[in-house]
Structure 1
Amino acid sequence: MMRARNVTGLSARGAAMAIALATTAIPSVLWAQEAPPAATAPVETAAPAAPVQPAGINESVAAVVNDDIISTYDLAQRMRLLIATSGVQPTAQNLPQFQREALVGLVDERLQLQELRRVERDQKMEIIATDDEVTEELADMAKGNNMSLEQFLGNLKAQGIGEETLRQEVRANTSWQRWIRGRYGSRLRIGDDQVKAVQQRLAAAASKPQYQISEVFIDANRVGGMDTAMTGAGQLITQMQQGAPFPAVARQFSAAATAAAGGDAGWITAGEMAPEVDAALEQMRPGQLSRPIQVKDGVYIIYLRDKRAGAGGMMVSLKQAAVGLPQTADPSAVAAANAKLVALRAQVTGCGDLEAQAAKVPGVVAGDLGEAEIKDLAPAFREAAEGLEAGQLSQPIRTSAGLHLLAVCAKRASGGEGQSKEQIENRLFGQQLSMIARRYMRDLRNSATIETK
């Protein structure tokens, strides 16, 4: 799987630059992805298609990075690669975002390779990946997509993407990560005190809700401001609602440390994220994609994969058999319904046959109520669920909707297992190494001469 880029903060001035880029639907087959959230937004109209000009024909300068030229052909090729690997379909609205991200990535790679050549020269060591090592990476990517290397490269070619475009990106990413991990990774030490601090914080928050999330973070400073970040986030959400895979979008657009893992942040506890994200998570349901969430330094897109109550509560799985009765039903109707449910209760052995037995009784409707935390149930159901064990049935319960026979199918303590020491160490290590890499790139950018045309 290709490693995620460090997306950085260069505003692509000259957004009206005419880049000849074919924007018909490009199949996203370069990476195997998990299913996206369901489409809920209207489909945008795709930008008109135009052929990509080969190198040397109407080619001009898109940017100059310390005298290293990025051509408009390089930029158009990178945009094609970004479109294909993100699964986002190009439209007239999001082409400027693709252009910005492609240019930012190319500028970063030029800076990284320039720095690595300097280090190689000064320290007499080899860091930059060789052609054979790049080919090895490409073969791994092809294998991950159940293709041979020849098929993989042929697929690129069919989409108008030159092999050298991907080779350049893989060479820069592989070499840079090797350098960062080699230079700083061996020096990083996650102390027991750091691990204990995290364990104590998690223990203190154990009673709070927990969320399994995937994230995309767009750094406002890297993309030219908060307005640009918000607009870009909105466009990405629309594309994901239309089918673009969240992991692919995260790998290509997210500035978070989780980008390389497709945005997978695992289980988090309320209070770990920014307050704005916590507030959004409280209102979301599993399987839901958030709106753009603005925080101090950028914008989050959150996909809530699952949610569970904090430790200390009790979860219960329920089924019911019910007879519908209005609140104003006369006593004889209530008595008749009660008799039906009492007779049914005597025939039912548990959750396994409740629905089948209820189907034999006229006027009785049975169904699965799913799992819920006991404290969130309606008062009458909560009282019954608290007093029953798994496999037991309640007596008929009167509500404003009718009479209900409640079956407890399972009970369990809410909350999940805590993170292991190793998991905490790995997470802290990844966060610190990512922070070091971002600072390194910031310093390279600040000392560089970067001109966009």
Structure 2
Amino acid sequence: MRLTRYMAGTAIAALLATQVFAQAAPRISPQSPAQSPAAGALDPAAEAAPAQPPLAPEFEMAEGVIATVNDQIITGFDLRQRMLMLIAMTQVQPTAENLPAIQNQALQALIDEKLQQQELVRYEVEIPDDEVNAELAELARDAGVAPEAYLRFLEDGGILPQNLREQVRTETGWRALVGGRFAARSRPTRNQIDQALRQIAEQASRPQYLIGEIYIEAARVGGQQAAMEGARQLVAQMVQGAPFMNVARQFSSAPSAQRGGDAGWVVQGSVQPSVQQALDALQPGQLSNPIPVEGGVYIIYMRDKREGAATNLVSLRQMMIAADDTAAEADVAAATARLEALRPQLDCDSILARASSEQGLLGADLGESDVADLAPQFQQIARTAEVGTVSGPVRTPLGLHLVAVCGRRAGGPQLPSTQQVSARLQNEQLSALERRYIRDLRADAMIEFK
């Protein structure tokens, strides 16, 4: 049974006392065709700079119950604490314009957290204090301070350390639960890995972009207009110095949020047209204006650009019958016929073993080579033959060869390995399963706003 009573955005906002802040973030106008896709440049040092103690904003909230999640309550105090946490973590300065977006994000996070805690109890997942302490120490390292100083930093912003500890405990337990339930299902198959590698090889000659992304999901924030307004406020704050990675972790709905919005290298043509236009226009170091897409809004941070990879690598194995330029035509014809007869029985796994088991045959693993460095007789096979196939007899000054194409990938020092592609696919699939899990929990939950 599902019971959800949605309240208008102004209902919870009415719990906030009107507050005039010393300096409101500048508003950014909606994009027009003449407007530059870039909102401004970001300071890379902001990501590594120690966090500054937040100013506790002077807003007030009702202390009573504002929502229930399967009969567990969320109070005004809980919401204020989570809002203060968001402000501290992101270094976003609260303004009259962005406070509703911060409030909504905090409330949605609290609802998800209640559902996660209930699942942890159901599956009897318990996180000991030493793991919580280790996670807190990691947060402190990210902020560039010692753990004790980090907790004081939060207290200066009005955040109770115990609230942070419980939040960290829930997040750690949830990761363990999701990993335990879905690790096997998220593991990519060999075919999926090979397909991804082939796609990378095919696209390697196209321009590539190293990007950070923030995706504001319209359904989560109250509609497309709210998503655009929230994105504008976030862009304004990041241009003023809020670290992109921190904002992405707290506000983005993309799978990359857990990595601080790091989407890695993307290839020209692999994203939506409106996003592609921004990628083409942005220069390294620039942050985009909000980019509306179906279902939400993107913010793109262009970290770097590069042209496509210049090399094409291929893995070859061969079976050979020696026959130099002085060999009689009859010997060459006999060698050709013998290899033609063997060819249907061969593949990458068997070609070397078969060559070593019969007299007169030579086998060799040629390893991985740039196609441009191969003998001219082998280049056409290396470029066009399907992976896993064996060529017909090829004549060279050394003899007759059967060539097995056992792998193909784009070259270049920055292109991913098989292990990296496998890890990326597993992370993407695990993130998708996690999002579906929490959506299902929300759909089945009784969520009521007071």
Query: How far apart are 1:111 and its partner, in Å?
Result: 0.6
- 2:240 and 2:84 mapped to 1: Cα distance? 19
Matched position secondary structure for 1:186: helix
Q: What is the aligned partner in structure 1 of residue 66 from structure 2? A: 62
Q: Is the counterpart of residue 106 in structure 1 residue 125 in structure 2? A: no
Q: What is the aligned partner in structure 1 of residue 272 from structure 2? A: 274
Q: Which has the higher contact order (CA 8 A, sep 6+)?
A: 2
Q: What is the aligned partner in structure 2 of residue 148 from structure 1? A: 146
Q: What is the aligned partner in structure 1 of residue 202 from structure 2? A: 204
Matched position secondary structure for 1:418: coil
Matched position secondary structure for 1:14: helix
Query: How far apart are 1:256 and its partner, in Å?
Result: 1.2
Query: How far apart are 1:36 and its partner, in Å?
Result: 4.9
Alignment equivalent of 1:420, drawn from 414, 417, 422: 417
Matched position secondary structure for 1:428: helix
Q: What is the aligned partner in structure 1 of residue 45 from structure 2? A: 35
- 1:443 and 1:175 mapped to 2: Cα distance? 18
Query: Aligned in 2, Cα 1:172/1:11: closer, same or farther, shift over 3 Å?
Result: farther
- 1:21 and 1:134 mapped to 2: Cα distance? 36
Q: What is the aligned partner in structure 1 of residue 329 from structure 2? A: none
- 2:133 and 2:440 mapped to 1: Cα distance? 31
State the TM-score, normalized to the length of structure 1: 0.65
Query: How far apart are 1:12 and its partner, in Å?
Result: 5.3
Q: What is the aligned partner in structure 2 of residue 74 from structure 1? A: 78
Query: Aligned in 2, Cα 1:245/1:11: closer, same or farther, shift over 3 Å?
Result: farther
Q: Is the counterpart of residue 439 in structure 1 residue 449 in structure 2? A: no
Q: What whole-Å deviation, never above 9, does each CA across 1:360-416 have from its counterpart, x for those lacking one?
A: xxxxxxxxxxxxxxxxxxxxxxxxxxxxxxxxxxxxxxxxxxxxxxxxxxxxxx976
Query: How far apart are 1:51 and its partner, in Å?
Result: 5.9
Query: Aligned in 2, Cα 1:48/1:268: closer, same or farther, shift over 3 Å?
Result: closer
Q: What is the aligned partner in structure 2 of residue 286 from structure 1? A: 284
Identity %: 47
Alignment equivalent of 1:83, drawn from 87, 112, 127: 87
Q: What is the aligned partner in structure 1 of residue 226 from structure 2? A: 228
Q: What is the aligned partner in structure 1 of residue 11 from structure 2? A: 14
Query: How far apart are 1:146 and its partner, in Å?
Result: 4.3
Matched position secondary structure for 2:123: helix
- 1:196 and 1:445 mapped to 2: Cα distance? 36
List aligned pairs for 1:331-370, cutoff 5 A.
none
Matched position secondary structure for 2:63: coil
Question: Would you say the 8 A contact 2:20–2:96 is kept in 1?
Answer: no
The runs of 5 or more residues in structure 2 that have no matched partner are 1-5, 24-42, 48-54, 312-410
Query: Aligned in 2, Cα 1:452/1:257: closer, same or farther, shift over 3 Å?
Result: same
Q: What whole-Å deviation, never above 9, does each CA across 1:233-274 have from its counterpart, x for those lacking one?
A: 111011111111101111111111111211111211112222
The alignment's C-alpha RMSD in Å is 2.9
- 1:130 and 1:253 mapped to 2: Cα distance? 28
Query: Aligned in 2, Cα 1:153/1:242: closer, same or farther, shift over 3 Å?
Result: same
Question: Would you say the 8 A contact 1:210–1:415 is kept in 2?
Answer: no
Matched position secondary structure for 2:275: helix
Give 2:288's aligned amino acid.
S
Matched position secondary structure for 2:107: helix
Give 1:211's aligned amino acid.
Y
Question: Would you say the 8 A contact 2:19–2:96 is kept in 1?
Answer: no
Alignment equivalent of 2:306, drawn from 305, 308, 311: 308
Query: How far apart are 1:164 and its partner, in Å?
Result: 1.9
State the TM-score, normalized to the length of structure 2: 0.66
Query: Aligned in 2, Cα 1:448/1:155: closer, same or farther, shift over 3 Å?
Result: same
Alignment equivalent of 2:175, drawn from 174, 177, 180: 177
Q: What whole-Å deviation, never above 9, does each CA across 1:200-239 have from its counterpart, x for those lacking one?
A: 2122212211001111111122222211111111110111
Q: What whole-Å deviation, never above 9, does each CA across 1:57-80 have from its counterpart, x for those lacking one?
A: x51112111111100011011101
Give 2:105's aligned amino acid.
E
Matched position secondary structure for 1:96: helix
Q: What is the aligned partner in structure 1 of residue 427 from structure 2? A: 430
Query: Aligned in 2, Cα 1:12/1:184: closer, same or farther, shift over 3 Å?
Result: farther
Give 1:443's aligned amino acid.
D
Query: How far apart are 1:135 and its partner, in Å?
Result: 2.6
- 1:25 and 1:169 mapped to 2: Cα distance? 31
Query: How far apart are 1:18 and its partner, in Å?
Result: 2.4
Matched position secondary structure for 1:157: helix
Q: What is the aligned partner in structure 2 of residue 93 from structure 1? A: 97
Query: How far apart are 1:25 and its partner, in Å?
Result: 8.7
Query: How far apart are 1:189 and its partner, in Å?
Result: 2.5
Query: How far apart are 1:426 and its partner, in Å?
Result: 0.8
- 2:60 and 2:130 mapped to 1: Cα distance? 29
- 2:203 and 2:7 mapped to 1: Cα distance? 39
